[in-house]
Amino acid sequence: MDASQQTVLITGANSGIGLECARIMSNLGYRLILVGRSKERLQEAIDSLSSETEAHMIVSDLSLPSAAIEVMTGVRELGCSIDILINNAGVGLYGALLETDPVKEEDMMQLNMQTLVQLTRLVLPEMVQRGSGRILNVASTAAFFPGPLMAVYYATKAFVLSFSEAIDEELRGTGVTVTALCPGPTSTGFAKTADMGRSRLFKGRIATARDAAQTGISGMLAGKRVVIDGAMNRIMIAFARILPRRLLARLVTFIQGPVR
Ligand SMILES: NC(=O)c1ccc[n+]([C@@H]2O[C@H](COP(=O)([O-])OP(=O)(O)OC[C@H]3O[C@@H](n4cnc5c(N)ncnc54)[C@H](OP(=O)(O)O)[C@@H]3O)[C@@H](O)[C@H]2O)c1
């Protein structure tokens, strides 16, 4: 089907990897629905897309339990059904569990996991009925490690990876595929929002949001199950798969540890 007749819903689309996904899908000619918390920032994102793109916005705080249903109500009101879902919105929170704000962590779990599952559940029936659809869930290289000093965030991303792999298998033969994108440290607003100024993780060379988005979209359109952005990250994860988890936890403590 012609891309302009297909609708892509992208969460967290006003900055970083989500905005780059919007730009790439816009260049490919798709109709877009961008979701985020700020009407002004979503409008700026829409204004930065190709003028030929049909783009809509739905303003929603996805850390609220009612968000997924509200978003899908907005989709119906626009008269659309979703052909491609990009579950990108997510936040992190730096610090040891005993020091971090439990309310922020609850919100993070709702945003990174529950809303992602709920949106997936809500778009899937129509995709399966049509016999086609693509879902891209933004996980992280964090998904492969225990994550001291960001324990809850790493665990949410392990959840996203496991969930995506499992339902892609469940959907085999339906024409619908689910892809987990695993970026490593990437230059976006993420580290600042997560209060990671003390971490070593973002001190080295880091990827661009454009590269991470391109890796995810190419993998999603090809129907791949898991895509890891960047050669160094792929090597690191190959090692992570064979090293003892206790050792990985020590390594991550060092990498996440405060720069003195
Ligand atoms: N950057 C990295 O190093 C990295 C590495 C691995 C994985 N990731 C993952 O990549 C995804 C995108 O993050 P990014 O790096 O592009 O960071 P970003 O630039 O901070 O973008 C995050 C996006 O999520 C939206 N968002 C945050 N909280 C939201 C909420 N409650 N409701 C609705 N939207 C919300 C933000 O919009 P507003 O705040 O304006 O509402 C923003 O558009 C996340 O899932 C993140 O975990 C990032």
Please list the pLDDT of the chain residue by residue as tens digits (260 residues): 788 899 999 999 999 999 999 999 999 999 999 999 999 999 999 999 988 999 999 999 999 999 999 999 999 999 999 999 999 999 999 999 999 999 999 999 999 999 999 999 999 999 999 999 999 999 999 999 999 999 999 999 999 999 999 999 999 999 999 999 999 999 999 988 988 888 888 887 899 999 999 999 999 999 999 999 999 999 999 999 999 999 999 999 999 887 65
Q: Is the CB of 137 under 6 A from ligand 1?
A: no
> Cα separations (Å) of 120 from 95, 132, 185, 221?
30, 14, 25, 17
Residue 203 has φ and ψ, to the nearest 5°, of: -85, -20
Residue 170 has φ and ψ, to the nearest 5°, of: -60, -30
Say which residues have a Cβ less than 8 Å from residue 98's Cβ, sequence separation at least 6.
none
Which CATH number is 3-256 given? 3.40.50.720
Do 251 and 239 contact (CB within 8 A), yes or no? Answer: no
Look up residue 248 and give its amino acid. L
User: What would the two tokens of residue 181 be?
Assistant: 């994108």
Q: Is the CB of 86 under 6 A from ligand 1?
A: no
Residue 64 has φ and ψ, to the nearest 5°, of: -95, 140
The residues assigned a catalytic role are 153
173 CA to middle of ligand 1, Å?
Answer: 32
Residue 62 has φ and ψ, to the nearest 5°, of: -75, 0
Atom of ligand 1 nearest to the CA of 37: 41
